[in-house]
Amino acid sequence: MNSRRDFLQKLAASAMALPLLPLQNLAGSAEYANFYNTPYDGPVLRVAIMGLGSYGTRVAKAMQDCKRARLTGVISGTPSKIKAWQARYNIPEKNCYNYENFDQVKDNPDIDAIYVITPNGLHHDQVIRVAKAGKHAICEKPMAVNAKEGQEMVDACNQAGVKLLVGYRMHFEPKTLEVIRMRKAGEFGKILFFQGQCGFTIGDPTQWRLNRELAGGGALMDIGIYAINGARYMTGEEPVWITAQETKTNPEKFKEGVDETIQFQMGFPSGAVASCLSTYNMSHLDRFFLNGEKGFAEMQPSTGYGPIKGRTHKGELTQPHITHQTLQMDEMAGIILDGKQPVVDVSGEEGVRDLKIIDAIYEACRTGDKQQLS
C-alpha cells in the first residue's frame, strides 16, 4: 500500500460498486433531498484543480455529479496529464495552466476558485499566488506544514478579499453530522472521552509523504490530522493541553522529522480527554469512539471514502453513503457563492486550529513536556 490514498480507496471500493440510496432517506437532510432531486439552474462555482494525482482525479470524478460546482480548468506540471484531462472533462486549452504560469488565471473569467491538491509543503506559496490572482482557494488538508504558514495563507486571502476553504470532506458526511447533532442535542450527556485511531502501513519509501520538505512531517500530517480534527468536532471543544509520545522502529524509512507513530492525548475545558494514535506502521486503524454520561458513538471506518459505518447507544447509524467529494464541493459552492454557514467550519481559520495542535504535538514529542494551548 503506497499511500493514504490507496488505503482509503480500498475502503471505498465496495461502496463504489453499490448504487446510492435515495437521498430522502437521510435523517435530517431534507435540504439535500430537495436539492438533488429538483432541477437547478442557479449560479455554479467554476473550479480549476491544481495537482492531477490520485486524489485530484477522485475529486474531478465526484464533481461530475455536482449541481453547484463544475470543473472548468486544470493546473499541472505534467503536459500529458493536462491533455488527458482535457479530453476526459472537455476542458478548453485556455483554461489549462502549469505551475509557472497559473498566475495568469487572474484574467480568466471561466475560473472562480482553485482547489490546491499538491504536496503539503507547496500549499503555502500556491494558495498565496491563487489569492493574489483574485481567485477563491480551496486547499487540501493539512493546509500548511505549520501554523505560522497557515496563518500567512489566511491573511493573504483576507487581504485579497477571497475565501480560503480547507478540504475537510468529513464535515459534510451525513453519519458524522448525525453524531454531531446528537451531541449538540445532549443525547450523549456530558462528554467524557474521545478515542481516534488512524493508521496504515505505508509503502514506497521514496514517495513525497516520507519527504520532510514536501510533507512537513509523517503520519501525523497525513492521517493523524483526522483524529485531531475529529476530536474537536466530536467533542465540540478546543483542547487546552496536549501530551504526546513518538515511536520509531524504522529510522531508515522514517528519516529525521518524518514521524512513524505518535500517540497523543488532549484535554478539554469540560474535563473531557482524548487519546489518539497516528501511524504509518499499522494497518486497519480507522476508528472513532465518543463516550458520554448518557451514551456513546462508535464509527469504524470513521474517515475513509465510504461507506462510513457507525452505531450509537440508540442503534446503527443508517444515513446512506453519498460520495464525500460531491457533497463537499456542492456545499463549498454554497459557502462561496451564497455565504452559507456549514455545520462544522471549513475555513482557513479552522485549518490553522489543527496546525496549532500539530505544532504542539511535535513539540511535546521533542521535549517530553505537556503543552498548554491558549
Helix (H) or strand (E) holding 244: strand 241-247
Amino acid code (one letter) for 25: N
* Distance of alpha carbon 179 from the chain centroid: 18
Task: For the chain, report the end-to-end CA distance as a whole number of angstroms.
Answer: 38
Q: Catalytic one among 141, 163, 175, 356?
A: 141
Do the strands 191-201 and 281-292 form a parallel or antiparallel pair, or are they unpaired?
antiparallel
274: its cell numbers = 482524548
Burial class (CB in 10 A: 0-12, 13-18, 19+), 17: exposed
CB contact at 8 A, 7 and 200: yes
Quote the distance between the C-alpha of residue 348 and its chain's center.
12
Quick check: 127 and 143 in contact, CB under 8 A?
yes
Query: Per DSSP, what are the bridge partners of residue 16?
Result: none
Q: Output DSSP code: residue 347.
A: B
Q: Which position among 36, 97, 226, 362 bears the catalytic label?
A: 226
Q: 344 φ, ψ to 5°?
A: -120, 130
Number of other CB atoms surrounding residue 85 within 10 Å: 21
Is there a contact between 81 and 52 (Cβ–Cβ < 8 Å)? yes
Catalytic residue check, 226: yes
Residues with a catalytic annotation lie at 141, 226
